[in-house]
Amino acid sequence: MTKTIIAFSALVCITLSGCGDAVSVGIIGGADGPTEVIVAEKEDEKMIKYKQITPDMAKEIMDSGEEYTLLDVREQDEYDAGHIPGAILIPYTEIGDKAQDILTDKSALILVYCRSGRRSEIAAEALSQLGYTNVNEFGGILDWKYEVE
């Protein structure tokens, strides 16, 4: 049975590979081999299109001299109580309304954080849905061991 599933999965992948960029194929496997084959048209994909990095990786980017936008997605009172130097504030609940006016370059590198990481993930996904292509989410300020102002 396992060999049949593997053969079927391989056949599906080979067949669909001729579809070019219009189709995405994913195989979810278990200990006995593939257990599920997922095929989705690109328009229907619900893939996460941002990158999760560590706070240390974010700090390396900040120190590298590379251009980036640092985005704090907490609330105003949290931002006022302490934020990473250079961060701009757009609360995660306002990303849909304000991002396109403030973050005008959709290909620019954006580093996103919040308090613990939950809101930054939501904001990063929202930015991706809005067409931003270089979003890096690094969790929360609670894990930030560097300067805060």
In contact, 76 and 66? CB cutoff 8 Å? no
Q: Which two tokens stand for residue 2?
A: 């396992």
Q: At what angle do helices 118-129 and 95-102 cross, to 10 degrees?
A: 60
CA distance linking residue 42 with residue 145, whole number of Å = 39
Q: CA 119 to CA 6: how far, in whole Å?
A: 39
Among this protein's residues, is 114 annotated catalytic? yes
The active-site residue out of 114, 123, 126, 127 is 114
With b for 16 or more beta-carbon neighbours within 10 A and e for fewer, the 14-52 pattern comes to eeeeeeeeeeebebeeeeeebeebeeeeeeeeeeeebeb
Active site amino acids = 114
